Every structure is written in structure tokens, then in C-alpha cells.
Structure 1
Amino acid sequence: MSAVPATAESSEYVRVKRKRQTIFLYANMPIDTVHDLRARANLVTKVPTSEMRFYLDESGEVLLDENKTLKEQKIENDMVLYMVYRIQGSDDWETVMIGDKKAEGEA
């Protein structure tokens, strides 16, 4: 039995979490940018890409650069990213929330 080579048909994905929602997004790791992922998330959430941000950590301290590739930001297959939305009518953003609670270290 021979090993199957990695091809364009390989399933690479990231999990994007926000509150009680987890979205599995296809990711072409070597070339996709965070903006590409936000565009895919838009297809599911119907939230404009300009109204969402992705963080690498649950504490919301490491904002992902939308113009860098996933590979440049060391994002790997099956990693969890955290999504927040812009607060409606404001320039402020939500805090990272998973389930019903805010990220650790916040009130």
C-alpha cells in the first residue's frame, strides 16, 4: 500500500469559534491569507468581512494580520482561531467569548 501524496484535494481546515458557534473553514495553508478565511466565514455568517476579526488566542491578545498568509502566521491544520465582531454602531470590538463566558482573565 502506498502513501497518498498531499494534493490540492487534501483537507486542511481551521476551526473558528465565537460564543457557542464553531465554524470549520477550508484553508489552503501555504497561500491563503486571514482575509481569505474571513471571506469564507462571511459565506456562513453573512457578517461583512470588515466587521469581523480573528485572534490566535482565546485571551484576544494576538490579532491575526489579514494580509499575511496562514503559513507566515504559523497557523496549522485543525488549529482553533477566535472570531469577534465589531460592536454595532461603534468602532469597538467584542471581547473573545467562548460558550457563555468571556475569555479567562476578564470579568
Structure 2
Amino acid sequence: SVSTMMYVRVKRRNQTIFLHVEPQDNFMVLKQKCAEINNVPPSSVLLIEGETKRELADLASVSDSEIENDAVLFLVLKKESGAWEQVDLVPFEGISGEAEETRNTAQ
């Protein structure tokens, strides 16, 4: 059978990880890849579906969860306290807005 390669974008703060996945991959596979990149154990990684904000279960597969090619997932890491961090994305508007304010002040 021909496997269908696709990719998902996994975002955390100002980091975006492009992961090549196959529809039959389960989310534990994706968690392991994200964990390796962030130097944390897979148990400290939570994946959240971007549109519905639902937590993606380790044993669920990409196709079962109706994750499309180029889908956005959010990566949440466990803090040292044992609590999960908030889904934290740096909004691009905020960055450019601050830069413009700085320029206006400088003039």
C-alpha cells in the first residue's frame, strides 16, 4: 500500500515544528518527536488540536482524529511543578504593534 505522507504544524509560543506524519501514526509518535526537539520526556508533552482545542490521545491515530494535511496542533509542556502550561502563542500582531510603538516614541 502506498502511504500518504502529510505534515502538521505543531506550535508553542514562538516555535513552529513541521512534522511529517502518516495517517496511521498515533499521537504518541508525534509526542516523541516533539519531546526530542524540546529535550523533555514524552510524558511532559500534551498535543491539542488547533481548531477544537481538544486534547489528542496517545493511542488515537492522525486519520481517526480527522487531522488534515497542514493542520495546526498546539504543544503544551508540563512545568516542573507538575502543572501544564497554558496554550501560549505569541501573537504576531502584538510583536509588530510593540515595534511600531517603539518607533513612534523614538521619533
TM-score with structure 2 length normalisation?
0.76
Given that 1:58 and 1:96 are in contact with CA atoms closer than 8 Å, whether structure 2 keeps it comes out as no
* Aligned 1:1-107 pairs, distance under 5 A: 7-8=2-3, 11-29=5-23, 31-57=24-50, 61-90=53-82, 92-99=83-90
- Paired with 1:77 and 1:51, the residues of 2 have a C-alpha distance of 25
- Paired with 2:59 and 2:38, the residues of 1 have a C-alpha distance of 21
The alignment's C-alpha RMSD in Å is 2.1
**Structure 1 runs, 4 residues or longer, greater than 2 Å off:** none
Given that 1:42 and 1:49 are in contact with CA atoms closer than 8 Å, whether structure 2 keeps it comes out as yes
Given that 1:58 and 1:82 are in contact with CA atoms closer than 8 Å, whether structure 2 keeps it comes out as no
Cα offset, 1:41, TM superposition: 1.3
Number of matched pairs: 92
Q: Does the residue aligned with 2:62 lie in a helix, a strand or coil?
A: coil
Q: Does the residue aligned with 1:43 lie in a helix, a strand or coil?
A: helix
TM-score with structure 1 length normalisation?
0.76
- Consecutive unaligned residues in structure 2, runs of 5 or more: 93-107
- Consecutive unaligned residues in structure 1, runs of 5 or more: 1-5, 102-107
Give the helix-richer structure, 1 or 2: 2
AA matched with 1:50? S
